[in-house]
Amino acid sequence: MVAVVVLAGGLPDRLASASAGSTPSPVLVDQVQDGTARNVILLVGDGMGDSEITIARNYEYGAAGSLPGIDALPASGQLTTWSVDRVDGLPDYVTDSAAAASGWATGTKTYDGALSVGIDGLPRPTILEMAQADGLRTGDVSTAPIQDATPAALLAHVTSRGCIGPSATTTGCPTEALENGGLGSITEQLIETRADLVLGGGATWFDEIATSGPWEGKTLLAQATERGFQVVTDVAGLDAVDHVDQSAPLLGLFAAETLPLRWAGPLATPLGGSEPAVRCMANPARVASTPTLPQMTGRAIELLDTGGETGFFLQVEGASIDKADHAANPCGQIGETVDFDEAIQVALEFAETDGHTLVLVLADHAQSSQIVPTGTTSGLTRTLLTADDKPMTVSYPTTGPAGGVVHTGSQVRLAAYGPGADRVIGLTDQTDLFVTMREALGIDRT
């Protein structure tokens, strides 16, 4: 098993030189000169806007500190995230995760809720499918259900992200249902797409019964097993896998739905900003038998990397930064950001040794949390005690019609290391990221 190495003692030499402020960075010059990569690792912090990064940095490392993964990348820019209205095609300034992920997955703007289809509802090929067709190995990792918006955008084409299993698809996306000649639910399409490995939560939907096709009457889990998938459900099972390929792809189902959060603590409340500052604590629901995001990332890289000329495309999502933000849960949000940062460190360790890997880090959209003056009690607030031993008040000022915290429309950070890293500098759009990855891997779109 690949060891999960956290760069607590400092960056590797080349990464350190990249972040030391030299002009131009020697690392970046090398990467501009050679923009072709054998591998691409795309790491997505769901809802990880600049504010979420700053909150996590302040809490864990202090205001003068740095996140060893996110802040180590030598090239950075900003990413616009808007989606489009399905009716008039005009901008929708605040995207959801489905439209956002579809943008970099296919290079096409679409409407909120859609997964890798255009506003016409027709499928668009994804970067994972194109990499697979070009002979690359492929992987998709998330702390969410693997049928959730970000991981599913690489694996499925549906007009509504809620069509996860056959029953929901029959009622909510009838044109996609297998019995109507469609591609099937997200879970059924995931099996059909057959990435070399898919790791995350979402076991619940594999218990659903196929309503049409060769496996009608059988559970989707039985279908996956009969079609050659290696199915694992815990760390021991993941560690025991010694290979993945198209004859034996890997399906890791480590939770019924979403994997447990890393940290726990009190939620933000209307008066939380005036209460004594608190520190976050380990979440007792997170047990050692469930792999963490850095562990899944390390194993995915080890299993996909052949050490030869065959490259790979891997997407890794820290999904619950966003989920905790929606719940006004600052400790959950910060812990998931730290967890995601450790996954980035794993990817950077590999890329530094490999020399042929482009690492890309981004958020799919911005979120609501803000650092406000301590003592503020407008909206939902909570005061935490940071690494500086200083109170920091976090506010969640946006509330949607259903009462939960909602996304915002700000641009977000996009950062990179490796061949082609210079492509992220400046202001780009999520759809541009598709081109960046395709060209870095030398994939011919035709």
Catalytic residue set: 97
Q: In this structure, which amino acid lies at residue 68?
A: P
How far apart CA 112 and CA 100 sit, in angstroms, is: 8
How far apart CA 102 and CA 112 sit, in angstroms, is: 10
198 Cβ neighbours under 8 A, 6+ residues apart: 139, 140, 141, 146, 151, 155, 190, 249, 250, 251, 252
Q: What is the DSSP letter of 72?
A: G
What is the number of H-type helices and E-type strands within the chain? 14, 17
Task: Give the rounded distance of the alpha carbon of 379 from its chain centre.
Answer: 28
Question: Residue 189: which of 164, 171, 211 has the closest Cα?
Answer: 164
How far apart CA 421 and CA 74 sit, in angstroms, is: 8
How far apart CA 210 and CA 167 sit, in angstroms, is: 9
How far apart CA 255 and CA 359 sit, in angstroms, is: 27
User: Which residue's structure tokens are 């794993």?
Assistant: 346
For the beta carbon of residue 133, count every other beta carbon within 10 angstroms.
11
Q: What is the DSSP letter of 210?
A: P
User: Which residue's structure tokens are 């390929």?
Assistant: 245
Q: What is the DSSP letter of 248?
A: B
